[in-house]
């Protein structure tokens, strides 16, 4: 009986899918697969790896490694998968995937009472069309790891084109009884001619970033190949803290210790060093409609194309247009006589790009960052642990927001130095702390929060609460918040 623990690597910001994907709401939390599914890429990844269980496999609690800032997005989406038990490992800063997997390996050992579980590691932002083929390939990987000590099994994707955006795995020899090939070497993203050669040879497959090994194998290989990362990761794990609820656990490695870990990927730190080492690595081929949705052109490829090759989403109208992707989020988007374009509309930004240049969207994000523009990080509608707010209008010395608070949730007890606020209830019942007073407001009732006044908005009911907030003052930035009490542990 194999104890298998799924590990979901849920970091990354998906900059090539801006403006839909932003650092505050990255692509893994979006519905992008194009197969009609209402699930996000993250939810699909969780469900895929939790389909492995059978007579010879026992599944442990899923480990999700994510950014501290995304913990409530993860929780909200996990709540829609009630059969999944999960533990969240929260990174205080990004240190790439090798430290992330190290935290998961330490955690898995502890959860498994040192039974040395098998880890199934997958990114959170990929799409798979043939789930049965995926499950069978992962089971082959598990059997491969069980058969040989200190071994690693990786999924190699059957290439369909001379892709220059992926790393490649070169296999050698014939496949064994577990459908696994020996891995000869890993190669970096090739140029176009080299990619053509790889495709013609037939022995090169795309590196999926999905693999299987025992927790002890990862830690031993990391200690051998990158002892500095191992030691720093171990210190961060030993300094961890934990918050538990009835359904989920938050584990936070030591912040200062984690910040001291060298930043490195799983591939560079360990996996690419395994061929020919004491950590034998094999590859199971996966032909299952895989795509990592690394750019808008990939989203077009997996989307449902009409007779003219167009993929549309939202309120769109097209005429005399071909092979284009048009995504409308908040209004009608029309296109006339265009070809091979990407058009993505959100409430506060519009992207127009040639499909063949969709990888270069990251350059726009770089410019937004250099200009310190908020459109890089947040949408106009911003998710919060208590609900969301939508900044519907603003001008000199005023801003208008629509705010929704979940049943049983509340904002922090807070005050603002530079602004006053008017609150109007449009749906539900609000409990409002305004200085020393606590009042209840129903639909069409309102109140005024003076500048500098301590206040809180709460929904004690069972239905969502919605209010309109009108801010006025000399400075209306989101950083003008002084929190005194907060249910969600924010400063």
Read off the pLDDT of residues 182-198 as tens digits, 9 standing for 90 and up: 999 999 999 999 999 99
Q: What is the mean pLDDT of residues 357-362?
A: 93
Mean pLDDT over each residue of the chain, to the nearest integer? 93
Read off the pLDDT of residues 61-119 as tens digits, 9 standing for 90 and up: 999 999 998 988 999 999 999 889 999 999 999 999 999 999 999 999 998 887 899 99
pTM of the full predicted structure? 0.90
Tokens 């895929």 — which residue? 48
Cβ-contact 405, 384 below 8 angstroms: no
Provide the pairing of β-strand 419-427 with 333-336.
Answer: unpaired
- The whole-number pLDDT of residue 115 equals 86
Q: What is the mean pLDDT of residues 46-56?
A: 87
Whether residue 489 is predicted with pLDDT greater than 80 in this model: the reply is no
- The whole-number pLDDT of residue 491 equals 64
The pLDDT-based confidence of 478 (bands split at 50, 70, 90) is confident
The pLDDT-based confidence of 329 (bands split at 50, 70, 90) is very high
Whether residue 159 is predicted with pLDDT greater than 80 in this model: the reply is yes
Read off the pLDDT of residues 96-108 as tens digits, 9 standing for 90 and up: 999 999 999 999 9
- The whole-number pLDDT of residue 450 equals 96
Which residue, 125, 165, 140, is CA-closest to 283? 140
Q: What are phi and psi of 472, to 5 degrees?
A: -145, 140
Cβ-contact 166, 198 below 8 angstroms: no
The pLDDT-based confidence of 36 (bands split at 50, 70, 90) is low
Read off the pLDDT of residues 13-29 as tens digits, 9 standing for 90 and up: 788 999 999 998 999 99
Read off the pLDDT of residues 406-442 as tens digits, 9 standing for 90 and up: 999 999 999 999 999 999 999 999 999 999 999 999 9
- The whole-number pLDDT of residue 246 equals 62
- The whole-number pLDDT of residue 488 equals 79
- The whole-number pLDDT of residue 2 equals 86
- The whole-number pLDDT of residue 313 equals 93
Q: How far apart are CA 54 and CA 416, in angstroms?
A: 55
Structural domains of the chain, with CATH: 2-286 (3.90.550.10), 304-366 (no CATH), 381-485 (2.60.120.10)
- The whole-number pLDDT of residue 219 equals 97
Cβ count within 10 A of residue 79: 11
Phi-psi category of residue 369: left, alpha or beta, with phi > 0 → left and psi -120 to 50 → alpha: alpha
- The whole-number pLDDT of residue 311 equals 96
Q: What is the mean pLDDT of residues 26-54?
A: 87
Which residue, 185, 180, 153, is CA-closest to 170? 185
Q: What are phi and psi of 311, to 5 degrees?
A: -115, 120
């Amino acid at each position: 009986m194999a104890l298998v623990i799924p590990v979901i690597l849920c970091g990354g910001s998906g900059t090539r899918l801006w403006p839909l994907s932003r650092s505050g709401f990255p692509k893994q939390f979006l519905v992008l697969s194009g197969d009609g599914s209402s699930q996000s890429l993250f939810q699909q990844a969780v469900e895929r790896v939790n389909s492995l269980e059978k007579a010879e496999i026992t599944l442990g609690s899923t480990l999700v490694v994510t950014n501290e800032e995304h913990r409530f997005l993860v929780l909200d989406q996990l709540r829609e998968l009630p059969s999944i038990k999960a533990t969240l490992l929260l990174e205080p800063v990004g240190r790439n995937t090798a430290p992330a997997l190290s935290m998961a390996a330490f955690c898995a050992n502890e959860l498994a009472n040192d039974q040395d579980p098998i880890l199934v590691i997958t990114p959170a932002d990929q799409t798979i069309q043939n789930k049965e083929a995926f499950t069978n390939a992962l089971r082959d990987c598990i059997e491969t790891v069980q058969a040989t000590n200190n071994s690693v099994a990786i999924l190699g994707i059957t290439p369909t084109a001379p892709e220059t955006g992926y790393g490649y795995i070169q296999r050698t020899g014939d496949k064994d009884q577990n459908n696994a090939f020996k891995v000869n070497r890993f190669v970096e993203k090739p140029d176009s001619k080299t990619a053509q050669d790889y495709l013609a040879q037939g022995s090169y497959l795309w590196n999926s970033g999905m693999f299987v090994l025992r927790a002890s194998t990862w830690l031993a290989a990391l200690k051998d190949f990158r002892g500095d990362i191992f030691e720093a990761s171990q210190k961060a794990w030993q300094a961890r803290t934990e918050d538990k609820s009835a359904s989920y656990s938050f584990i936070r490695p030591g912040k200062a210790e984690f910040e001291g870990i060298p930043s490195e990927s799983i591939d560079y730190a360990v996996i690419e060093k395994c061929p020919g080492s004491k950590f034998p690595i094999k590859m199971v081929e996966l032909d299952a409609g895989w795509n990592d949705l690394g750019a808008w052109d990939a989203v077009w490829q997996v989307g449902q194309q009409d007779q003219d090759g167009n993929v549309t989403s939202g309120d769109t109208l097209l005429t005399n247009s071909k092979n284009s992707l048009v995504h409308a989020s908040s209004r009608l988007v029309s296109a006339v006589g265009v070809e091979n374009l990407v058009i993505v509309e959100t409430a506060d930004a519009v992207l127009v790009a040639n499909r063949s240049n969709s990888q270069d969207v990251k350059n726009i994000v770089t410019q937004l960052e250099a200009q310190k523009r908020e459109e890089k990080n947040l949408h106009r509608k911003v998710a919060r642990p208590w609900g969301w707010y939508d900044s519907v209008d603003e001008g000199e010395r005023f801003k208008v927001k629509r705010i929704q608070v979940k049943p049983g949730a509340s904002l922090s007890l807070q005050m603002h130095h530079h602004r006053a606020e008017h609150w109007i209830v449009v749906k539900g019942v609000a409990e409002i702390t305004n200085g020393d007073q606590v009042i209840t407001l129903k639909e069409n009732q309102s109140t005024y929060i003076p500048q500098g006044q301590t206040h809180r908005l709460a929904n004690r009911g069972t239905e969502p609460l919605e209010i309109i907030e009108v801010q006025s003052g000399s400075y209306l930035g989101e950083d003008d918040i002084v929190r005194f009490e907060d249910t969600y542990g924010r400063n």
